[in-house]
Structure 1
Amino acid sequence: MAVRHRLTDVDTVLEEGSWLFTVRDARGGRKEVILVPCAGEGEPVEAWVNRCTHEAQALHREGVGVVFREGEIVCPKHGSTFDTCSGYCDNGDAAKTTLVSVETTVEDGQVYLIDDGVSFLTAGGSSDDEDDDSPGSTSHLRF
């Protein structure tokens, strides 16, 4: 059974739009994870690895957070959009893929990490992120 770790509260995720944290996976690697609001029938927030499925492009950027369009997460590089509740993409270069999920639960307004495959390291981004440059955009979306 996973070690349960309190991450933040639901209100913080809803107010800020997203919440970033870093975990260590079973192989010892660091992964950034984003909590995002979910307006579906399940939990009020969902957790996804902070990477587009098309290319290793961060979805949450320092100083910007996650960009949303019509309730979907927007990849800043190619403009593919992912459903915040299911992680599924039905457009752009990442079409027919789903973001990698990280298991969390919500109790009494608090969000807990309960995923057996990862362990909590820190709130915020990974300190060893080798490529933190802003993405060049080839997006098919217009804002």
Structure 2
Amino acid sequence: MAEHLCSLSELDEGDSWLFTVREADGSEEEVVLVRTDDCVRAWLNYCQHETDQRLDRGFGAAMRDGEIVCPKHGSMYDACSGYCDNGKAAESTLVSVDVETRDGDVVLTDDDRTFLHEGAIEADDLPGSSSHLTF
């Protein structure tokens, strides 16, 4: 069953939107939804080089030229394919979450995940960033 996430009009090109899902095993994961001029995609919210490094730390993922930038290492992931060809995460791909656009809305279509709420996981023990970089 598809679950409404947001209106496409709420997500401008080059923007991201953070939300939390429940995985099939009962755990919670953060997901970052991104829009470029070529695609709308969703990815689990962590760098493949260091899985405790969040791509969106609560104020939007850094995006540059259609790529998601890791705020710690600077590795850049293609926002449409999730593939990284540079930096410490080179030759890796982000973990995708199935979404579609329907009638001007973005919907979660991933059978293994259930939408919980907009924003980050509400817990005190989330990994933080050791980076001081912002974009």
Q: What is residue 124 of structure 1 aligned with on the other side? A: 119
How many angstroms apart in 2 are the aligned matches of 1:80 and 1:15? 20
Q: What is residue 57 of structure 2 aligned with on the other side? A: 61
User: Are 2:42 and 1:47 equivalent residues in the alignment?
Assistant: yes
User: Are 2:20 and 1:25 equivalent residues in the alignment?
Assistant: no
Q: 1:80 aligns with which of 75, 81, 91?
A: 75
Q: Cα gap change, 1:79/1:16 in structure 2, threshold over 3 Å: closer, same or farther?
A: closer
Q: What is residue 100 of structure 2 aligned with on the other side? A: 105
Look up the equivalent residue of 1:115 and give its one-letter code: D
How many angstroms apart in 2 are the aligned matches of 1:129 and 1:90? 33
Give aligned-pair identity as a percent: 49
How many angstroms apart in 1 are the aligned matches of 2:124 and 2:35? 25
Unaligned regions of 5+ residues in structure 2, if any? none
How many angstroms apart in 2 are the aligned matches of 1:129 and 1:26? 23
- Aligned-pair RMSD on alpha carbons? 1.9
How many angstroms apart in 2 are the aligned matches of 1:78 and 1:134? 11
Q: What is residue 133 of structure 1 aligned with on the other side? A: 128
Look up the equivalent residue of 2:42 and give its one-letter code: A
Q: What is residue 36 of structure 1 aligned with on the other side? A: 34
Q: CA deviation at 1:4?
A: 1.3
Look up the equivalent residue of 1:60 and give its one-letter code: D
Residues 80 and 92 of structure 1 are in contact (CA less than 8 Å); yes or no, is this contact kept in structure 2?
yes
Across the two proteins, how many residue pairs are aligned to each other? 133
Q: What is residue 4 of structure 2 aligned with on the other side? A: 6
In structure 2, the residue corresponding to 1:93 is in which secondary structure? Answer: helix
Moved over 6 A (4+): none
Q: CA deviation at 1:26?
A: 1.1
Unaligned regions of 5+ residues in structure 1, if any? none
How many angstroms apart in 1 are the aligned matches of 2:42 and 2:81? 10
Look up the equivalent residue of 2:18 and give its one-letter code: L
